[in-house]
Amino acid sequence: MRVMILGASGLLGKELVREWRGAEIFAPSSHDVDIRDAESVRDAVLKANPEWIVLTAAYTDVDGCESNRELAFAVNRDGPANVAAAGAAIGARLLFLSSDYVFDGTKTSPYETGDRRNPQSVYGRTKAEAEVKLFEVMPECCIVRTSWLFGIGGKCFPDTILKLAASRPALDVVNDQRGSPTYAVDLANAIIHLCQNDAHGIVHATNADNCTWFDFAQEIVRSAEATTVVRPVSSGQFVRPAPRPAYSVLSPDSLHAFGIEMPSWRDALSRYMKQQEN
């Protein structure tokens, strides 16, 4: 299998390159391929001639998207449309990474793949509009929604908590936003499996079980055997430019349909902590 990974320098992209076995991998950097440039994308795709394109490249600064709307839509909506068009031209398949932020967070039970998109932030709108565009350009594409991504080698919630816990006696963490932390290693393996099984349509892929950010932070601090006290607070005490979904747990049914079971987030965090030690 010939696979092109766009966004290979990110948390997920790095793990895809590490974990993918038995495939010929093309992983150009963002300097080599700017997905906002349709011609650049077309040339790179033609040169690589992949069977699958996995697109993880994105502008993921959720608050930054609020003040940089033009850039956010150019990278997160128009860029994927450029990639889909280039892929469709040579008959390649596309897997696009999307987000729980396409939902408004008003449900109290896990979101299904067919639930109505109703994003509340600019970032969420860019992802939601990208999904619509991709199905127009390439109806057989696969869109993988995930949430709360963490991993080695980049900025993520556990890394931030560990650094803060090393220097502070107490941390305040919001306790009224619930989702599913997702380990980049586990997500990469799920994506590989989906590509190998010619997946199409929307798939929700997160580690099993769910928690609040406060719960997650507590478990991180406990795992690190730190003495830092983690205190629960409300989102209202941490006003940020972009609204976050209060509840964004994604149903695993679509993932299970492909025979994929992802471990619990606690199991994933334990492996992440061991990776940190190495």
Structure-block tokens of residue 254: 């679509």
Structure-block tokens of residue 161: 């908590």
Strands (E), the chain: 2-6, 24-26, 52-55, 93-99, 142-146, 149-150, 170-174, 178-179, 182-183, 201-204, 211-212, 229-233
Contacts of 2 (CB under 8 A, 6+ apart): 23, 24, 26, 48, 49, 50, 51, 52
CA distance 179 to 211: 6
CA distance 249 to 236: 21
229 φ/ψ angles, rounded to the nearest 5 degrees: -90, 130
Q: Are 146 and 187 in contact (CB under 8 A)?
A: yes
Per the annotation, the verdict on 123 as an active-site residue is: yes
Structure-block tokens of residue 86: 């280039």
CA distance 239 to 18: 38
Structure-block tokens of residue 129: 């509009």
CA distance 127 to 129: 6
Q: Catalytic one among 111, 123, 183, 247?
A: 123
Q: Which residues are catalytic?
A: 123
